């Protein structure tokens, strides 16, 4: 054991974490290769298959096997069941088992195979799933496991690597650990007249603790600015590039080399999004969509990045013609052939199904079928509860129903265990006269409630154990986009980096983050009559404390309507924000992070305020709390420890 510990300490100092991942994989595959090369194995007896959330090893026999050998093998499988991890299924053809006792043969009369016990042992699961971030499956011949001496050698190597990983776990930065549960990211569009420099965009992300972003193209400046930030990045292949990549594997390889390989590992690229809503926007490209994904994946395999970077493509809800009730939802049948190929690709590569889900459109195009509260995650009275008549599942939000519709559509094509990630969702803060629901208040309500929904780490009713992750559309208002006014106003920030409205991360009402407080003040150049009307409302029906702007009080001077309105607007906003109050006042007010306090006039929410409102940070979209990260770290270390014990017991029993 002393030598093992020495090896661990050496590994910690000399082998980076990702190298340990690779070392473990090479060790396991080397063991399989060395055993497989023995003359009594056939090449077809070993094949790799993919499974979701676990490792499944199916042991089969390629030659006649005695019942005594089966008993020996079964004994090996009966390791302590509490170790947790991967499952092993012994499945032997009845006709190939010799000297089978009569009592056993009777049990097999109604089946063609001999299924024996399943055991779970943690030492492989932890490395391959939790650390490498991917799943792995093996189909092994029975004789391989019976070769105890070679298996011992394999387990010894795995045991040493396990110890190395256990020691390393204590020094790994929390940012490098994959926290269990959902997350909220943002989309970054660049159709902005005065887009901030890439370094300033990243500064906003870091200041607001945004840990996941999606780029619509491989923007060189942003990809460089995101380096060494640990922010997880989905980089997009534009719709215009899909056809060329789908028709040319060399073009796919060139794209990966230029837009992924050139930036990793310093830029934390975790996925490639192939086009955006290809099937519904450029259907003529559909025949090459999956070939494009395959070619990009093969290029990642060639670069040894396929475990780190996944490939998928975002879909519009339009590919599900009738999303309600979710239980009967199916994909548009005209795309069935493409969808089967696509889902098989996602299954084989352990990738997610990307969905753009917009309850805003579901509500506005629904002709009043659903109440707006349902679209905004607001609670509904019992008489208005939305229930799927087939499953009796209650849907508290249209967002959940849309995600479940995707899961049911996937299931309708006989696929499962493919997680759905929402790559776009949000609500516009401004619209035209024919878009009355596009308001700052609704946008603020939707996105704040979305964050609370995602961070409760549960899935939709049909998949409660599959947490939902979502990307808010979008970081900035894109004034250069075509279409109605609402199309230009989905951002959570103006192009200058000031927040349009604050986003609260935690469900408890406390605001995480260290960014500046947010204040509501009168706009420069606002109409005086509207300002006066807003001032009267805030100090009257709105309940703002306007004592400080009375004559002789610290905020009376300067004695003008703009100054007095700013104080009143802010006091109203700070007191009512948590219950739905907004900073609008008929378009005369705006959000700012600059403290408007002056002299002895201290605004509510200021760091110098003794009893005013709560200080609101604009947003924090990372892990929900330090304690959550800590608990995940502890769980990770516990799993490593269990892994060591599992490997050690396996060696002892052999």
Of all residues in the chain, the percent with pLDDT exceeding 70 is: 62
Boundary residue ending a domain (466, 488, 510): 488
Do residues 106 and 244 both lie within one domain? no
> In the structure encoding, which two tokens stand for residue 422, read together?
């929402």
* 3-state SS assignment for residue 496: coil
pLDDT of 650 reads 57
Boundary residue ending a domain (117, 151, 175): 175
- 19 to each of 16, 123, 160, 168, 363, how far by Cα in Å? 5, 17, 14, 12, 49
Q: Would residue 498 count as lying in a domain?
A: no
Q: Which of 445, 438, 402, 400 is nearest to 580 (CA)?
A: 445
Distance CA 27, CA 335 (A): 42
Residue entry with tokens 């394999």:
154
Do residues 187 and 150 both lie within one domain? no
Write a three-state SS string for 10-30.
HHHHHCCHHHHHHHHHHHHHH
Do residues 151 and 24 both lie within one domain? yes
Catalytic residue from among 143, 424, 444, 478: 424
Do residues 165 and 194 both lie within one domain? no
Cis peptide before 325 (omega within 30 of 0): yes
Q: Would residue 156 count as lying in a domain?
A: yes
* 3-state SS assignment for residue 214: strand
How many domains is the chain built from? Answer: 2
Q: Would residue 528 count as lying in a domain?
A: no
Q: Would residue 98 count as lying in a domain?
A: yes
Do residues 222 and 294 both lie within one domain? yes
- 265 to each of 226, 231, 334, 563, how far by Cα in Å? 11, 12, 40, 51
Expressed as residue numbers, the domain containing 129 is 2-175
- 4 to each of 20, 128, 336, 560, 615, how far by Cα in Å? 15, 21, 54, 77, 53
pLDDT of 458 reads 87
Residue 561: exposed, middle, or buried by beta-carbon count in 10 A (0-12, 13-18, 19+)?
A: middle
> In the structure encoding, which two tokens stand for residue 160, read together?
């040493």
Q: Would residue 263 count as lying in a domain?
A: yes
Distance CA 236, CA 270 (A): 11
Do residues 171 and 201 both lie within one domain? no
Do residues 140 and 255 both lie within one domain? no
Beta partners for 232?
A: 212
Decide if 489 contacts 430 (C-beta within 8 A).
Answer: yes
pLDDT of 102 reads 53
pLDDT of 499 reads 86
Do residues 342 and 474 both lie within one domain? yes
Identify whether 277 is a catalytic site residue. yes
Boundary residue ending a domain (465, 488, 511): 488
Do residues 295 and 432 both lie within one domain? yes
> In the structure encoding, which two tokens stand for residue 266, read together?
């310093």
Q: Number of C-alpha atoms within 13 angstroms, CB side, residue 362?
A: 30
Q: Which of 175, 84, 155 is nearest to 638 (CA)?
A: 84
| CATH number of 319's domain | 3.20.20.80
Distance CA 597, CA 604 (A): 9
Q: Tell me which residues of the chain have a pLDDT lower than 50.
A: 1-22, 24-25, 28, 32-63, 65, 67, 70-94, 100, 103-146, 148, 168-179, 505-516, 610-636
Q: Would residue 522 count as lying in a domain?
A: no
What string of DSSP letters covers 506-531? -TTS---S-SPP-EEEEPTT--HHHH
Q: Would residue 275 count as lying in a domain?
A: yes
Residue entry with tokens 């805003």:
360
Is the pTM value of this prediction over 0.85? no
Identify whether 424 is a catalytic site residue. yes
Decide if 465 contacts 175 (C-beta within 8 A).
Answer: no
Do residues 153 and 235 both lie within one domain? no
Do residues 147 and 199 both lie within one domain? no
- Tens digit of pLDDT for each residue in 27-48? 545 554 444 444 333 333 333 3
Do residues 157 and 294 both lie within one domain? no
Q: Number of C-alpha atoms within 13 angstroms, CB side, residue 534?
A: 32
* 3-state SS assignment for residue 96: helix
Spatial CB neighbours of 517, under 8 Å, sequence gap ≥ 6: 593, 595, 605, 606, 607, 615, 616, 617
Helix orientation angle between 148-169 and 2-14, rounded to the nearest 10 degrees = 60
Catalytic residue from among 143, 232, 241, 277: 277
Decide if 414 contacts 422 (C-beta within 8 A).
Answer: no
Q: Would residue 502 count as lying in a domain?
A: no
Which secondary structure element, helix H or strand E, spans residue 354, and what is its range? Answer: strand 353-356
- Tens digit of pLDDT for each residue in 303-362? 999 999 999 999 999 999 999 999 999 999 999 999 999 999 999 999 999 999 999 999
pLDDT of 461 reads 94
């Amino acid at each position: 054991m002393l030598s093992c510990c020495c090896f661990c300490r050496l590994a910690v100092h000399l082998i980076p974490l990702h190298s340990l991942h690779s070392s473990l994989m090479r060790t396991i595959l080397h063991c399989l290769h060395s055993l497989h090369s023995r003359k009594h194995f056939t090449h077809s007896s070993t094949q790799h298959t993919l499974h979701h959330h676990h490792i499944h090893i199916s042991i089969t026999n390629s030659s006649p096997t005695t019942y005594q050998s089966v008993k020996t093998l079964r004994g090996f499988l009966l390791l302590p069941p509490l170790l947790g991890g991967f499952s092993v299924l012994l499945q032997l053809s009845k006709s190939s088992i010799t000297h089978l006792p009569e009592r056993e043969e009777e049990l097999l009369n109604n089946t063609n195979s001999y299924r024996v016990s399943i055991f779970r042992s943690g030492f492989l699961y932890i490395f391959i799933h939790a650390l490498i971030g991917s799943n792995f499956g093996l189909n092994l011949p029975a004789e391989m496991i019976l070769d105890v001496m070679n298996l011992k050698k394999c387990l010894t190597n795995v045991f040493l690597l396990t110890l190395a990983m256990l020691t390393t776990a204590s020094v790994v930065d929390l940012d490098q650990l994959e926290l269990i549960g959902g997350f909220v990211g943002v989309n970054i569009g660049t159709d902005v007249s005065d887009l901030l420099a890439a370094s300033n965009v990243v500064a906003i992300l870091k200041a607001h603790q945004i840990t996941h972003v999606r780029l619509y193209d491989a923007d060189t400046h942003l990809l460089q600015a995101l380096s060494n930030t640990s922010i997880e990045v989905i980089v997009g292949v534009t719709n215009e590039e899909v056809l060329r990549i789908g028709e040319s594997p060399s073009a796919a390889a060139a794209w990966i080399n230029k837009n992924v390989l050139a930036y990793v590992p310093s830029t934390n690229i975790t996925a490639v999004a192939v086009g955006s809503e290809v099937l519904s926007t450029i259907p003529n490209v559909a025949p090459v969509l999956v070939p494009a994904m395959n070619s990009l994946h093969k290029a990642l395999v060639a670069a040894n990045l396929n475990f780190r970077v996944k490939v998928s493509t975002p879909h519009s809800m339009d590919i599900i013609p009738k999303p309600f009730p979710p239980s009967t939802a199916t994909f548009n049948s005209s795309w069935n052939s493409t969808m089967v190929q696509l889902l098989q690709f996602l299954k084989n590569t352990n990738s997610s199904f990307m969905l753009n889900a917009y309850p805003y459109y579901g509500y506005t195009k629904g002709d009043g079928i659903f109440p707006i509260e349902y679209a905004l995650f607001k609670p509904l009275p019992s008489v208005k509860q939305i229930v799927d008549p087939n499953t009796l599942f209650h849907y508290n939000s249209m967002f959940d129903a849309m995600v479940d519709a995707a899961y049911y559509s996937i299931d309708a094509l006989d696929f499962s265990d493919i997680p759905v990630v929402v790559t776009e969702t949000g609500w516009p803060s401004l619209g035209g006269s024919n878009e009355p629901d596009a308001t700052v208040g609704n946008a603020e309500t939707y996105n704040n409630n979305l964050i609370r929904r995602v961070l409760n780490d549960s899935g939709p009713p049909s998949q409660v154990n599959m947490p939902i992750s979502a990307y808010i559309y979008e970081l900035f208002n894109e004034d250069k986009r075509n279409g109605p006014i609402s199309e230009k106003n989905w951002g959570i920030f103006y192009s200058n980096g000031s927040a349009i409205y604050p986003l609260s991360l935690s469900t408890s009402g406390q605001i995480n983050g260290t960014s500046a407080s947010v204040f509501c003040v009168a706009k420069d150049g606002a109409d005086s009559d509207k300002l006066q009307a807003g001032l009267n409302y805030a100090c009257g029906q709105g309940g703002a404390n306007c004592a400080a702007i009375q004559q002789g009080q610290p905020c009376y001077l300067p004695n003008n309507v703009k100054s007095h309105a700013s104080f009143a607007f802010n006091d109203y906003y700070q007191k009512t924000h948590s219950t739905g109050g907004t900073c609008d006042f008929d378009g005369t007010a705006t959000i700012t992070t600059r403290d408007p306090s002056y002299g002895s006039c201290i605004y509510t929410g200021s760091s110098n305020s003794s009893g005013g409102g709560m200080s609101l940070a604009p947003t924090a979209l990372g892990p929900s709390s330090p304690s959550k990260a800590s608990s995940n770290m502890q769980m990770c270390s516990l799993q490593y420890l269990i892994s060591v014990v599992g490997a050690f017991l396996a060696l002892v029993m052999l």
